[in-house]
Each structure stands twice: as structure tokens, then as C-alpha cells.
Structure 1
Amino acid sequence: MAVVLALHFPWGRYHATPWGRYVNEGAVELPPSPWRLLRALYAVWQLRAPELDARVVHDLLARLAVPPSYLIPPYRIAHTRHYYPDSKHLSGSISTDKAVDAFAVLDGNQTIYALWPVDLEPEQSDALARLAKSIPYIGRADSTCEAQILERVPQDAAGHQRAEPIGFDDLDALSDGHERADLLCPELPLDLDALVLRPVDVRAGKLLYPPGTRKITYAVPALSRAERPHRRTKKKTTVVRLAISGIVQPPMAHTVPLMDALRGACIKVLTRQVGATDSLLAGKTAAGTPLTGGHRHAHFLPYDGSGDGRIDEVIVWTPEGLSAQEVNALDTVTRRSIGVPDGVTGPRDLHMLPTASGDETLLPPEWNSPARRWRTITPFVPSRHHKPRQTLAEYLHDEVVRELSYRGNDVPEVRAEEQFDPRFVGFIRRRWRDRRPAATLPSYALELQFAQPVQGPITLGHLSHFGLGLFHPVG
């Protein structure tokens, strides 16, 4: 018979930072890792139930060292920000340090259930019941907890979803409504000396994680979101804005791998939901061939609103407009982490939040304003090679005119001037999903000068649907 540990949070909040993560990252370890649960049981034995026999407790913890499964209620992730005076206040200057308090808001019966597929001896069951009742909190001290051992999962947990170890790093194994979580688990057999190590002791050994531990990948229910009423409108959804959450955003130089990972995740979700079909979000037909017709499909574009050289938002701009299923696919993707695989240069484990969807009025004004002069925000990469008989100025002019002709009927009179932009040094100009040999096409910083004002946005060249060749007006 399985062992069922019920962790009830009467305040409906669960605070816990994953081991190895910085508190201001805003990450929440949900569900509580097996390593956290074992440490909590050991701690309450030492502090609140020292009369229990050591042999019984040691054997109990060894039995519970196998990875459990969980039942998790609907939840949302939230945080508060606190600003504390730092040491500079002693000198009379005004200065503060920010602390992020992230937590999971639990709905339903506000109870997480951990289930171990083991049988316990009667004395071990009694010891576990005694220890569970002695647990004051799980995670941070803010997470007041009432724990108890149950014979079975109660009926009021019908709305919970199961979190299971999947045992390997394969996002394709995740079903819709689930996302990946790497939980800290003990290696078998359990090392009690490692279990009681303090974080400062682990750091002193120049380790990120305690010895005798391993990370196991779980399929965890995605966070729940309040349903928004659908408004009837004839306007197409041509713009979707996704804010990148976290303390540190990826650099602009990682635009292509980020957009490649996001688009790939969208295609997976869309294929699962509606099957093979023509998709403006994917830019492909049902047969897998590229769409034609003036680059009217989705552009995944980086937006650096703060001007610090990092991507604050991803703006998905689709001139032809997205279907309701494609917008829903974007919303589904934001419920899981986005990033490149191990061994590939680029961002990992990013989370995004949809902030707006609608028409072109949601585009940044600096992209959408009419202007005669436009300058590159990201490098322009021509789609063709420079022919020996062409001067560089002729080559760039011909490439710009050809790209403009693909995007409209009337090609405006334009002059292209090469410039130097140190921000473009180190820019990744190749998709990590592209298994062909690395491209040798160079990149350029350009300024375009039109005879008449031209309306934006302007995206030109190779990988323009992945964020390269993006321009902004300068006058």
C-alpha cells in the first residue's frame, strides 16, 4: 500500500527556492523535492521528536528515498518585491537592495500529496505519523504547513493533477498541460551524512548540489490561469507580445536561437492540437513546405525596451493575422520553459508571459512610424552571396531592393549605406536546428535612405523571421 503524505498549506501559499537557484530569480520549487521532504523529516526528528528510535527513523528515511509521485492542486505563481536599506545608508546616501519573494498560490483544498510506492513496517508508519504532525513548515518559514499521513488520497483531491518522474530529459514526453521540473533527489542508497549538510558546507566543498544527490526530471502540471472572456471582434490578431520574466534577460546576440526555440515549441503544440495544417505561425504548409506570398507569416522579433542590449520582450508580428488556434498555441507555450538544448549556445529555461494581443497598434511606436531613414537594430544578412563583379555598395543595394520587392508591389527608391555597429559583434546568425554546414554569409549594419517616408515595420534578409534584419526609424 502506498504511503500518502498530505501537506496542507492553510494560508494557500507555498514558498520554496530550488537548491542551486538564487532567490531573486523568482523560481518556486513545486512540488517540494524529495530531498527537501527528507531533510524536513530529519530536522523535526532531531528538534521535535528526539525520543524516536534512531534505527527506526534511519530505516524509514531509507525507504522514502525512492522518488515519489505527487498530486498537485491548481496553482499560480506570484511574487512580492521588498526593498531594504543596504550598508550605504550608514553614510547618509539613499540606497536599497531588492528581494523577490516568489511563491505558489494553491487553489482547491490547498493540499499537496506526496505518494511513495513502498510498504512500511508498523513502527516505521508510527514514526512517520509522529514526524509528519511535527512539521511546522515546508520550504521557507512563511510556508506554514499542516502535515499528516493518510491511508488513501481523499475525494476532495479529485481536481488535482499528477506529477510523475519521467526519468529522462525529453520534452516530447510531456503532454499538453504539463511542463518539465528537475527535482533534487537522493541517490540510492541514501547517504545520511550528505542529507544533513548545510548549504554553506556544500559551497565550502565547491559543489552546487550536495553529494549523494541527483536531478530527476518530473512532468509537472502547468500553472493554471484565470479564463478571460472572449471578445467578438473582426480585427485579426497580427501582434502578440510576450514579456520575458526573470532577473536577467538574454542578450540581443542570442536573438536567433531564442526565436528558433520559441517557434519550434509553437509548432509542437500546434501539431498536437490541430494536426498538420497550413500555419502562418509556423510559416509552413500542411506538407511541410515553406509558405509563399510576400512574407506574410509570423516574424519572431526581439524588443529591447530598456536599451540595455537585452531582450525584454518577444513580439510575434504576423501581417496576415493568426488564427485562434495559433494564438492559443502561443499562450500554451508560455506555460513551459523555453530555451536551447544542452551543448547549444543560447538562452535556457526562460519563461514568458503574454501581455497583449491585437493589431499593429500594439507594435512599438519606433517600429511602426513612417520615416525616410531607417537603421538596423539587428544585423542584416543578405540571402545571396556577393558576386565578384559587384562593388559592396551595389551588392547591398541590390539585396535590399530584392528583399523589399518580396514584401510589396511598389519598391520605393532607396539607398543603402554600410555602417559599423559594435553591438553586432558576436551575433549568432545561424539556427541551431539547421543541420546543414554553417552559413558563411556576412552580416552588415545598414542605414536605408528612402526618397519618401516609408511605413514600418521593416525586416529584411536572411532569418528576418527569426529577428535578424530588423530596422527602426532615425529621422
Structure 2
Amino acid sequence: MVGIEFCFLAGTYHATPWGRHANEADVEWPPSPWRILRALIGVYHRYSLCERYDEDVLRRLIEGLAAEQPVYRLPGAVHTHTKHFMPIAGGKTTLVHDAFLRVLPEDPLGVYWSEAHLDGQALALLGEIATLMPYLGRAESWGEARLVSNPPDRWDAMPMELDAATEMLERGEGEMVDLLAPVSPSEWPLVRSKWPVRKSSLAGVNHLVDALRLGTDVIEKERLNMPLGATRVLYVRRRLDLAVPSGSRPSASLRRDVPKIQANVARFRLVSKVRTRVLYALDVGEVMHEALEFIGAKQDRLTPALTGLEPKTREPLRCGHAHAFILPVDEDLDGYLDHVLVYKREPFDQEDLDVLQALRQLKTPEWWPGRERRWQLYFEGVWHAPAGSFSRGEPSGDVPDAYVRPSRVFTSITPYLHPWHWKRGGAKFGPADQIREELRRRGFPEPVSVEALAQIRLAGLPYDARKFRKLRYGARQELPARSGGLWRIEFAEPVYGPIALGANCHYGMGLFYAGELDSVRFPSERQASAEGG
């Protein structure tokens, strides 16, 4: 057996199937045998492996793999897309759909040829090509590859003629897809004989390797509806898993495969035509709260744990922040929102999970000022987060979210709006004191330091508290905080997030990133005035 395993380091896989337009937002999954063999040939030439391995070795390698249709082991994947405007001729723009799959970077895609027989030189060449391969699919799908010889514990995609494929379909676990594959070396002479040598662009195509080298310019010139030497093969693949997280593989205490009864963090991918800046996190949190309330009422499951409201009176719950926090987050720190976390101290019950998984899109209600805005939501998974507890030892960073993972330092990503007035019983009770008090009430240990920041930097741009939206549209609010402030909290030992404090914290305000951010501190003489924000 010969196998190659690919890990997509950015957590995304981009590839448009043959014959489909990019704006159809489809993704070729699994990667077709034709695409994989062309990638091997491309690496052979790009990295000058021809200096050590002659053309005959490459031909033996490609024909050895083309003689058999491979089987696949697929990582869990979520089909998603982004939309953006691209410039075109005449100074105009056009809307483009960029579709891709989100996968775990450490969960490999395996491609296996169980009956392939390669000689020593061809196998050595394949090993070097795999080591040098920078990406598979479009250039955004950058990753690493390695040669393997042991089969995995399961197959997730296989040719239709295999019995296991039929069984997968009968169990309702699979779906049929067309993949482009090269004809076998034994069929190639017949295919080649149908194309006269007088065609100049095909005159040098004598071997299957030559056909795989042909670019789309030649295919279009010859008006072919399929590349020369290619055929369509019907495969059965396992249905896409719609509950896979993005980012790193979860650690033992933060796993997506925990029993649902223990899960207290749900995560959604947030996508919109025009990306939403982190400055408007409160708007997304408020609109999502409205959506959860609407879906709950529609399903007759108006759960107070998600809405924070009494089902009959619609009055706010007085339960000490036991209901859900809706936290729009900027995972990659580029200044734009890309995910939404829903966190609750106690585990979600089944009604909570049913409402969350029914959420597909957000749109501003009719009473919302300005133009209507819409967002797509993709449910990515649930975890258990022991928020507030100590994490023994140094944090590994091997957790699914940058706001839930354990850390000693937490830095404001949205402004903290202190919920109480400055005077309590005649004594000063400033924002730093209020942060410590809120942490104590939430079960967090006493912090080592609470320090005010003048601003934070995301993707090189400065953000200060004054720039953020801080008041909800759907409620009349008179908050003690005038403009809010940004803070840095440090603990003696790593603790788990998420940490969201202050007024409107259930809608995304007062959210802290688990780690250091590029920030600007106040001069010491201005610290006291800064705490008045």
C-alpha cells in the first residue's frame, strides 16, 4: 500500500471542481485523483527534482498511481464561504463567492492506493515530492504532506464499485460525488489514438504524464469539455460533519466529543457580505439575542437560560449571570468579527442545543436604525469550559478557541463598562475595583494586577474604547460608565475563559482575549484619570 496524508495548516481547503464556476460556491471533496497527480507533477518541476530523478522515474510513479482509483480517509469538514467584491475592467466591482472547507489543522486527509506497486526510485521520488508539497488545491490551502505505508482505521470515500461504498449508502451515511481521474495506463493508448498528431498543441502528448501536464489554455484552445486522458469516476463519500470546530485540536478538558449534557460553550462561524468590524460587536450580540428569542418562541422552547428573560413577564432574570453570554469574537485579531461564542456557566440542556442548532442566519429587525444587515451562521461545535478554575501547569494553547483557553493574562478586546457608580458608601469604587469584585463574584481567583490600557492594536491599527458601540438599540440604557475602558488582567496561575464583565457583557461588551495583545499603556500619572472612563 502507498498513501499520502495532507494536513491543512490554515484549517481551510479551497478547490473548485472541474466544470463548476467559482461563484457556485462548490468545493471538490475529496480532492480528485486528477488534481493530486497534477500536483505531484507540479512539485517535481517546481523544485527541480528532475536533476536527481529522470523523466522515466516520474512516468513510472504517475502510471503506477493512475492504475488504481484511491480510497480516502477524510477529516471532519464544514462547508462555508465568504463574499467579497473584486475589481473588474472599467473600474467596476463584482461580487465573488469564495467557498472552502474548514478542517482541523492536525486532522489529516489521507489518500491511499492499496494495490499500487512502485519500485524503489519511484517511491523515493514520491517521498520527496510529499515533503516539498506546499499546498493542495488552490494556493490558500497551504499545508504539509507525508508518505505513509499503514492504512487508517476507516475509509470515508471510495469508488462506487466497492461493496463498502454500497453499504455506506444503504446506511444513509454517504453521498455520491463525481471526481475527475486519469484513465488507466492500459486505456491511454486508445484515448491517445483518437487525437490526430496534426493538432499542434497535442503533438507532443505521447504519454499519460504529458496529458496531465496540459494547462487549461490548451484545453480551451482545443475546445475540450474534459482534459485529455481524464474520466469521471463515481465515488461515495461520508456526509460532511456540520459540528466540527476550527482552530487547534481540543485538549482533554476542552473537547468537542464531550457528552452534550456537559457542554456549556457553543461556537458559530460568522459570515457576511461586508465583514463586520470588532467595533460593532454589541450590534451582532444584540441581533443574535433577538434571533434566539424568535427561534425559541417559534419552537415553543423559549428557554430563559438563552434569552435571560422570564418567559411570561419578559422581565430580565435575577440569577447572577447564570444565563447565556453571546460573545462575538475576532479569532484571528484582524479587527473583524469571525465567530460568535455562546457560553453558559451551567451545561446546556437539550432544549438549549435544539435552539442553537436551529440558528442559521441573523438579520436586523424592522425597528433597527439604518439599512438591513444580514449574517450567516455556521454551527461548528460544542465544548465544556471549566471557566474560572485554575489550569494546572502552563497552558498548552491546544484548545479550540482563543477566548476560552487557559491563560495567566487576559486583555480587553471590547470596552469594559463598569456597572456600578464610583462611590459606594462614601468610598471610592473605581473600575479596577469593580473588575476585581466581578471576578470574585464569578468564581475567579484574585488577580495579581488590573491595569488600564490607552488602546489596543489589531492588525497594526489602534483601537480605543471611544470608537466602539456601547449602548444597545433595543433598550433604554443609562450606564454609570461614560465611555468605557480597556484593561489588562493578570492572574498568578492560568485560568480558563471566557471572561466578559460589566454592563452589556451578555452581548459582547467587556470581553477579554486570553493572552497578550499589542497595546499601549497609560503613563503612570494618567492612570487615575484613565480609570474614570
Q: Give the TM bin, normalised by the shorter chain.
A: 0.3 to 0.5
- TM-score, length basis structure 1: 0.48
- TM-score, length basis structure 2: 0.43
